[in-house]
Amino acid sequence: MPKPFCLFCGSPWVVVSGRLRNLSRRAGGTFALLAAFVCIGQAAVAQAAPQCTAHSTDHRVALVELYSSEGCNDCPPADDWLGQWKHGALQQGIVPLALHVDYWDGLGWTDRFAQHRFTERQQTLTELAGGHVVYTPEVFVGGREMRSWSNPASFAARVREIVAEPSPADITITLAPQGAGDLVIDARFVSRRPVQTSTQTQAPTPRDWQAYVAVYENALVSQVKAGENRGATLHHERVVRQWIGPVPIVDGQARIAQAVKLAADAGANANANASAPAAGEAARFGVVAFVERASTGEVEQAAELPIEPGACH
């Protein structure tokens, strides 16, 4: 399974959510998607007839990242806000993801969706923007923090700004079934810019472009029994369960191929070892792939492929 990636593991951090906290950097985070293998470059994908494919658009798309936690009582409204794009967000130029951080886990309630790598990613994006404070809920649009995300006009303006730009990269996602609950993801990334040379006139492909893949799950429910949300029933959409990357984009190209086992969440108190999804439940899952510039955190392009019943299941 890919190891968590951390650029600033030694940096001091302050966590803000109503009050100052010391950030606990505990490794952990369980998920219901078990990686079987990773292949980069020209490695072969397991033999299977592709069942569905998605391509990125000719214009940029806004990757919307919500950093959240079940232990934070300011987060449920933000979770509901992100949930409005459970389906059909791509038509609006949006690819939403909910990433649950783990620094709330020692404060009364352990979030079963939290992964430490998401805490590290939140820190990295904040550090790249010159900040030293992370908090929940926090929203990044296209790799940049947006504090006015709850203002519809402000959010729409930011999305329009991104969508108005031509795509600098092409992304193709292909999914192929491998049996009950097993799926092969094959994501390919190709720059639309030339490879860097000494004679070119066009802006070249940045040397620090990186590729990522995320698998999300919808329709998740938790009955919180401790912490700030004690007694609440929380509903989550677009929760990232598997995270692959970063993979360097070399000579304008990259490929990520990975087999995953989809395990549908069994209910409010389910664990990460839930069984493979029954017919129709696979529609709760989807795959997102995106290109990011490592030196700035800016997300250059994103693509999405929901797992539709009868197609990829």
Q: Does the CA dihedral 116-120-125-126 come out positive or negative? A: positive
Per residue in 201-213, pLDDT (tens digit) is 567 889 999 999 9
| 180/263 Cα distance (integer angstroms) | 10
Supply the pTM of this predicted model: 0.81
| 272/1 Cα distance (integer angstroms) | 15
Per residue in 25-45, pLDDT (tens digit) is 333 333 333 333 333 333 333
| 135/38 Cα distance (integer angstroms) | 32
Q: Is the pLDDT of residue 135 over 80?
A: yes
Query: Which of 201, 307, 203, 191 has the alpha carbon at shortest distance from 260?
Result: 307
> Based on the number of CB atoms within 10 Å of its own CB, is 25 exposed (0-12), middle (13-18) or buried (19 or more)?
middle
Q: What is the pLDDT of residue 28?
A: 37
Residue 8 lies in a domain: no
What mean pLDDT comes out for the span 54-79? 98
Q: Strands (DSSP E) along 218-278, which ranges?
A: 220-223, 233-236, 239-248, 253-261
Q: What is the pLDDT of residue 299?
A: 98
| 43/271 Cα distance (integer angstroms) | 33
Residue 45 lies in a domain: yes
What mean pLDDT comes out for the span 255-284? 64
Residue 136 lies in a domain: yes
Q: How does residue 12 score in pLDDT terms, banded at 50, 70 and 90?
A: very low
Q: What is the pLDDT of residue 51?
A: 65
Question: Which residue segment(s) compose the domain that 288 sits in?
Answer: 31-306
Residue 3 lies in a domain: no
Per residue in 163-191, pLDDT (tens digit) is 999 999 999 999 998 877 788 999 999 99
Residue 18 lies in a domain: no
Residue 57 lies in a domain: yes
Query: How is the chain split among helix, strand and coil, in percent rounded to 5?
Result: 15, 35, 50
**Mean pLDDT score across all residues of the chain:** 82
What mean pLDDT comes out for the span 69-92? 96
Least confident piece of the model among 173-177, 197-201, 218-222, 236-240: 197-201
Q: What is the pLDDT of residue 24?
A: 37
Under DSSP, the state recorded for 126 is H
Residue 298 lies in a domain: yes
The helix/strand/coil state of 162 is: helix
Contact (CB, 8 A) for 181 and 276: yes
Which DSSP string corresponds to 68-93? E-TT-TTHHHHHHHHHTTSSSGGGGT
Residue 15 lies in a domain: no
Contact (CB, 8 A) for 103 and 15: yes
Name the domain count of the chain: 1
- C-alpha distance from residue 89 to each of 64, 80, 144, 177 (Å): 10, 14, 19, 25
Diameter over CA atoms, the chain: 64
| 311/76 Cα distance (integer angstroms) | 32
